[in-house]
Amino acid sequence: MRLTDRLLTRLTGANARGTRAASTLIAALPAYQVALWPDGWQLDTDGRVHVQDTHCMAEARRWLDMARRNAGGRMRSARAEAEAARAMRLHGVFVPRAVIDMAGRCLPSEQTASVALTIAAGEWLAERRRTLAGAPEQALAERARAWSGSRHAGTPDADAARRLLRQLIAACLREGLLPPARYRLACSLDDGYGVGCCRCTVQVDLDAGARARVADVLQAALIPWNRAVARHGGIAPVIAVTVRAGSSGARRMRTCPPAGIPATGESRPAAWPAAS
């Protein structure tokens, strides 16, 4: 087992309790993990590092993109981006553009990832490590709560999330995990600051207890495609599901028939394309 794997195993274990132990773990973290803390990387079994947006990276990108859109001309754009960076520092959300631009890349090893991020933003990275060391237990707890499913490929759009959820409902109906009923689906993209999330509503004519069980089954079924994003000290699922009682206003919602065959004819869910 690699050193990084042992460290990350300890994050959620008893050895991470106490400020001294937590501070030791923060000090030993590879540079790329400090830069992408708390959930901006996925480590493959072959050692490759996949970089994904953290909430702070996505929020900082929007700040910079907005500054660029509001400026005219190359010089004005550079000046506006510098002013946006100063504003982000005041609000505690600054992330260097070089780090933001790493999102979506696959680096061949942990050593390569650490070298690349140190070259891109070494001074900020050292500052970031000091920040994490200032509240080490809180930092480790935030990392422990975040997770990403094995088939997660970015935030889906509303149609892709609806198709996936319809297929999962059909599969769960076939397996007897959901009660036979007509499930009406509606999904919308919450495209606010930070990592985008898709909010899905399922309407079904069942009692409150049965609806709670439906919600539990669907949330469990979504795990391989879902991600829990660390955001402002809490956790937000990329695909959030709410199950409500059926109503007459559900006519505009898509319907999943009680028989277990998806409308697309696919026998099992497929992953959606990665977000651009």
* DSSP strand pairing (227-231 vs 197-204): unpaired
Q: What is the pTM of this model?
A: 0.75
d(CA 14, CA 37): 21
Q: DSSP secondary-structure letter at 152?
A: -
Residue pLDDT, tens place only, 162-217: 999 999 999 999 999 999 999 999 999 886 677 888 999 999 999 999 999 999 99
Alpha helices in the chain (DSSP H): 3-11, 19-28, 31-35, 55-70, 74-91, 97-100, 110-134, 136-145, 158-174, 208-221
d(CA 128, CA 108): 24
Q: Are 22 and 103 within one domain? A: yes
Looking at 105, 129, 148, the residue that finishes a domain is 148
Q: Are 26 and 68 within one domain? A: yes
Q: Are 24 and 72 within one domain? A: yes
Q: Are 16 and 142 within one domain? A: yes
Phi, psi of 238 (to 5 degrees): -65, -35
Buried b (16+ CB within 10 A) or exposed e, 42-71: ebeeeeebbbbbbbbbbbbbebbeebeeeb
Q: Are 191 and 82 within one domain? A: no
The pLDDT profile of the chain, 276 residues, written as one tens digit per residue, is 455 555 555 555 554 457 888 899 999 999 999 999 999 999 988 999 999 999 999 989 888 888 877 776 555 667 777 788 888 888 778 999 999 999 999 999 999 999 999 999 999 999 999 999 999 999 999 999 999 888 888 788 889 999 999 999 999 999 999 999 999 999 998 866 778 889 999 999 999 999 999 999 999 999 999 999 988 778 889 999 999 997 644 444 555 555 443 433 343 444 444 433
* DSSP strand pairing (197-204 vs 239-245): parallel
The domain tally of the chain equals 2
Q: Are 137 and 233 within one domain? A: no
Q: Are 72 and 29 within one domain? A: yes
Residue 263 resides in a domain: no
- Give the domain range for residue 18: 3-148
Q: Are 205 and 249 within one domain? A: yes
